[in-house]
């Protein structure tokens, strides 16, 4: 008979390897106690330490003329003129949302809001990028329903507009959904603050909600390991309170406006552990934390629980002694708890005290700077990684039926059901909102600025699964392409890199190639990466998710009045397709709907793409186009259909010049295509301007049907049929 199983070493239960434990012993010069082991396990987790990704992230370009604050801070920021800066960042809350979707998604919004106001910017808008399994699955419908409800609950309650986003449905996300949240905020440049602690003898003040056991171990238990349904991880999901966060936001901004803080940091993953360690590391100082002074929601919490709790709506700041009373008074005014729980020291150590005794004593450098970094071992797989998706559109179907099938497909059909749950207008800045255009446009006028900013978030994991490098390049181009529809010049990019287990060679290959693709795309467009997030180990027993680099981009434009619409504007307008668009079925939505998944995508000419982006921005800025819409999922036929749905007007076009194969011309995908309509008298000017980057004269607006010819293929579908399929595709599955 087998005897009882040998007990697992405590460090292994906390996600540390034997080698990492030996390193900790070496750096401490002794065995760590329980408090220290818990703290190291969080700081050396994948989520906090980026130990499998940091070396790769160094490949990304991080310099640009508009850059104000780059990687390493809570959020990045860019200069938008008039003395203003826009701060923005995207982060994931994937694993918590797969376990408890409402709170997981809600606290994802809360966390990204804190990242933005932690540097002194007032949040003005959020976006989200969501991935679920196919809607045929009851589990995926449940996760979608509750995640969207959580996003709406938190954003609507705190009064920050949700202005855009995207939702994709693919089989690989069935057991590991993705919930990526992006926030942007605005501030006078001089109000921006960094997180580095400063000033030996200064107070460390904790303000905000009480500290409880919710979220304990979230960074290691959830975010740094594969999901396993056999383990109940609900206690590791944080619980959010948007009304507490609203008070926290106003308190933080008033403290900064009054010049009362030396530094400010939010408490996210790993709670006090990461915030205190990172503040001390940034300032090259030490911090002592007296856990007896931490206000608790639950009695009897152990020292390690207090230090690693991920209770939401909390901030940590450094305050000079002569300003402490004023800081506490501002917090009291907003009915926010505030307590001096520690002090800045010159020891370069994080020390945890209880009852006057030291219960944890660790070098800050060991916690933050000496986290072991690993070299990935990428290896391109010989065999397909993913099962082909289910087939829904038969090969050889009439082109009109294929178009209706695509326009009603889950990835393309209207997401009105979701975005109507969000307040998109609060704040009175939203000029173009979710569902009304290719990007959101927010006026700077309420903040005393000139012009507007445009923002979009994009990614297509299926195309990255086909070709990690080219798919990631396309994600950058697609985001900038959406901004170009508003004439906005991109100023900065944030990313959230969602991948499987990087210790597996084929996942490492996906990750390395995708990072290289993002770097190439950003370099070609001259856009710096201002920061972001990495979410690894997104897989379970069924396998990994599609590699899903999500990019968010912010751009600047002039007067937002009279921007071109997405839909046609007048009967008789000429329809043109601008750009170096070379359609292919590889990686397309049609290929998916036929149950196929290619290996490889056509190469992208980045120089030609960059030139086309600049040309399109100038056409929009000069008001030379009446409508504009980028060609994306479903190809040119779907883009044309979406323009007809948005306007109620039909069109008659010939797409034969796009490809000798009719199906490719209609439904092939690729970067670098914009469908525009222009008044007949202005068409020649646009054609002349666009000739150097590529121009196709397709036809004209008119009638109540979309009529398209493409080599041997043709279709004629009424606008009402297109609209019905588009509106019903997702909504009917959720009734």
The verdict on 337 and 439 lying in the same domain is: no
The verdict on 549 and 502 lying in the same domain is: yes
- At residue 45's C-alpha, the angle toward residues 40 and 47, to 5°, is 135
Alpha carbon distances (Å) from 349 to 16, 74, 321, 404, 665: 21, 22, 21, 63, 63
Longest dimension (CA), the chain: 90
Name the percent of the chain in helix, strand, coil, to the closest 5: 40, 25, 40
- Spatial separation of the C-alpha atoms in residues 724 and 567, rounded to whole Å: 17
The verdict on 320 and 420 lying in the same domain is: no
Q: Identify whether 104 is part of a domain.
A: no
- At residue 534's C-alpha, the angle toward residues 282 and 113, to 5°, is 70
The verdict on 361 and 444 lying in the same domain is: no
The verdict on 356 and 438 lying in the same domain is: no
| Residue 653: its H or E element | strand 651-654
Residue 376: Cβ within 10 Å count: 18
Strand partners, 730: none
The verdict on 365 and 412 lying in the same domain is: no
Strand, helix or coil at 435? coil
| Total residue length of the chain | 735
Q: Identify whether 124 is part of a domain.
A: no
Burial string for 684-723 (b: 16+ CB within 10 Å, else e) reads eebbebbeebbbbebbbbbbebbbbbbbebbbebebebbb
Tokens representing residue 285 in the block: 């100082």
Q: What is the DSSP string of 475-538?
A: HHHHHHHHHHTTTPEEEEEEEEEE-S-TTSHHHHHHHHHHHHHHHHHHHHHT--EEEEEEE---
The verdict on 320 and 418 lying in the same domain is: no
Q: Identify whether 29 is part of a domain.
A: yes
Output the pLDDT for position 2.
Answer: 52
User: Which among 155, 141, 371, 149 is positioned nearest to 249, based on CA atoms?
Assistant: 155
The verdict on 360 and 414 lying in the same domain is: no
Residues in the chain with pLDDT values less than 50: 1, 3-6, 218-235
> Taking the mean position of all CA atoms in its chain, how far away is CA 129?
6
Helix axis angle, 683-690 to 606-621, nearest 10° = 150
Total domains in the fold of the chain = 2
- Spatial separation of the C-alpha atoms in residues 371 and 384, rounded to whole Å: 34
Q: How confident is the model over 122-136, as pLDDT tens digits?
A: 999 999 999 999 999
Output the pLDDT for position 598.
Answer: 95
The verdict on 618 and 655 lying in the same domain is: yes
Q: Which of 315, 339, 374 is the last residue of a domain?
A: 374
The verdict on 273 and 409 lying in the same domain is: no
Alpha carbon distances (Å) from 703 to 372, 568, 725: 64, 12, 19
Q: Identify whether 146 is part of a domain.
A: no
Tokens representing residue 703 in the block: 């009638």
Q: What is the DSSP string of 718-730?
A: EHHHHHHHHHHHH
Q: Which of 357, 374, 391 is the last residue of a domain?
A: 374
Burial string for 520-532 (b: 16+ CB within 10 Å, else e) reads bbbebbebbbbbb
Q: Identify whether 139 is part of a domain.
A: no
Q: Which of 374, 391, 426 is the last residue of a domain?
A: 374
Q: Identify whether 226 is part of a domain.
A: yes
Answer whether 41's CB lies under 8 Å from 24's CB: no
Ramachandran region, residue 259 (left: φ > 0; alpha: ψ -120 to 50; beta: rest): left
Helix residue ranges per DSSP H, 44-137: 46-49, 54-57, 94-99, 101-117
The verdict on 422 and 345 lying in the same domain is: no
Tell me the catalytic residues: 47, 93
CATH of the domain at 29: 3.90.650.10
Q: Identify whether 382 is part of a domain.
A: no
Output the pLDDT for position 541.
Answer: 83
Range of the domain at 602: 399-734
Output the pLDDT for position 233.
Answer: 42
The verdict on 369 and 511 lying in the same domain is: no
- Spatial separation of the C-alpha atoms in residues 330 and 313, rounded to whole Å: 17
Q: Identify whether 336 is part of a domain.
A: yes
Tokens representing residue 522 in the block: 């950003």
Answer whether 179's CB lies under 8 Å from 105's CB: yes
CATH of the domain at 618: 3.30.1330.10
- Spatial separation of the C-alpha atoms in residues 668 and 663, rounded to whole Å: 7
């Amino acid at each position: 008979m087998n005897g009882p199983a040998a007990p697992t070493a405590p460090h292994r239960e906390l996600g540390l390897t034997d080698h990492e434990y030996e390193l900790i012993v070496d750096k401490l010069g002794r065995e760590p106690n329980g408090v220290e082991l818990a703290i190291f396990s969080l700081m050396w987790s994948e989520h906090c330490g980026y130990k499998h990704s940091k070396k790769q992230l160094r490949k990304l370009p991080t310099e640009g003329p508009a850059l104000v604050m780059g990687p390493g801070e809570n959020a990045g920021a860019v200069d938008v003129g008039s003395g203003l800066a826009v701060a923005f960042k995207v982060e994931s809350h994937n694993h918590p949302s797969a376990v408890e979707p409402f709170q997981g998604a809600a606290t994802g919004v809360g966390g990204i809001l804190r990242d933005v106001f932690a540097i002194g910017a007032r949040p003005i808008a959020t976006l989200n990028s969501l991935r679920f399994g196919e809607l045929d699955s009851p589990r995926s419908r449940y996760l979608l329903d509750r995640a969207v409800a959580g996003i709406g609950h938190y954003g609507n309650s705190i009064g920050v507009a949700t202005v855009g986003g995207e939702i994709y449905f693919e089989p690989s996300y069935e057991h590991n959904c993705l919930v990526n949240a992006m926030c942007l905020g605005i501030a006078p440049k001089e109000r921006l603050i960094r997180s580095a602690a400063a000033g030996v003898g200064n107070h460390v003040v904790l303000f905000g909600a009480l500290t409880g056991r919710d979220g304990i171990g979230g960074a290691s238990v959830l975010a740094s390991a594969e999901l396993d349904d056999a383990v109940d991880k609900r206690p590791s999901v944080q619980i959010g309170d948007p009304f507490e966060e609203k008070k926290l936001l106003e308190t933080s901004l008033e403290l900064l406006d009054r010049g009362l803080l030396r530094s400010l940091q939010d408490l996210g993953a790993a709670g006090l552990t990461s915030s205190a360690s990172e503040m001390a590391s940034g300032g090259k100082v030490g911090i002592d934390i007296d856990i007896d002074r931490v206000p608790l929601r639950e009695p009897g919490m152990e020292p390690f629980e207090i230090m690693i709790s991920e209770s939401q709506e909390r901030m940590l700041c450094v305050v000079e002694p002569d300003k402490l009373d004023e800081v506490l008074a501002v917090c009291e005014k907003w009915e926010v708890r505030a307590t001096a729980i520690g002090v800045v020291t010159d020891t370069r150590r994080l020390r945890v005290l209880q009852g006057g005794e030291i219960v944890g004593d660790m070098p800050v450098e060991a916690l933050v700077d000496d986290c072991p970094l690993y070299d990935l071992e990428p290896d391109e797989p010989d065999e397909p990684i993913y099962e082909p998706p289910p087939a829904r559109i038969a090969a050889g179907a009439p082109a009109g039926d294929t178009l209706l099938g695509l326009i009603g497909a889950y990835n393309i059909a209207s997401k009105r059901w979701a975005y109507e749950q969000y307040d998109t207008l609060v704040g009175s800045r939203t000029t173009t909102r979710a569902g009304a255009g290719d990007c959101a446009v927010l006026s700077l006028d309420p903040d005393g600025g000139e012009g507007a900013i445009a923002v979009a978030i994009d990614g297509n994991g299926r195309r990255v699964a086909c070709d990690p490098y080219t798919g990631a390049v396309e994600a950058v181009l697609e985001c900038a392409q959406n901004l170009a529809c508003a004439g906005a010049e991109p100023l900065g990019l944030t990313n959230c890199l969602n991948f499987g287990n990087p210790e597996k060679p084929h996942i490492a290959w996906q990750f390395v190639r995708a990072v290289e693709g993002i770097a190439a795309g950003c370099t070609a467009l001259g856009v710096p990466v201002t920061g972001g997030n990495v979410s690894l180990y997104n897989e379970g027993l069924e396998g990994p998710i599609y590699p899903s680099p999500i990019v968010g981009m912010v751009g600047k434009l002039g007067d937002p009045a009279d921007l071109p619409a997405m839909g046609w504007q007048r009967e008789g307008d000429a329809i043109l397709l601008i750009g170096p668009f070379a359609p292919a079925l590889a990686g397309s939505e049609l290929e998916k709907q036929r149950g196929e998944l290619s290996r490889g995508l056509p190469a992208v000419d980045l120089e030609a793409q960059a030139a086309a982006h600049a040309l399109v921005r100038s056409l929009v800025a000069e008001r030379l186009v009446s409508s504009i819409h980028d060609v994306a999922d479903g190809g040119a036929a779907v883009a044309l259909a979406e323009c007809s749905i948005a306007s109620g007007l039909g069109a008659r076009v010939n797409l034969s010049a796009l490809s000798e194969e009719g199906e490719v011309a209609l439904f092939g995908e690729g970067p670098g295509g914009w469908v525009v309509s222009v008044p007949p008298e202005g068409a020649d000017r646009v054609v002349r301007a666009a000739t150097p980057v590529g121009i196709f004269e397709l036809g004209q607006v008119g009638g109540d049907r979309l009529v398209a010819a493409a080599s041997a293929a043709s279709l004629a579908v009424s606008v009402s049929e297109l609209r019905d399929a588009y509106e019903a595709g997702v909504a009917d599955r959720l009734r």
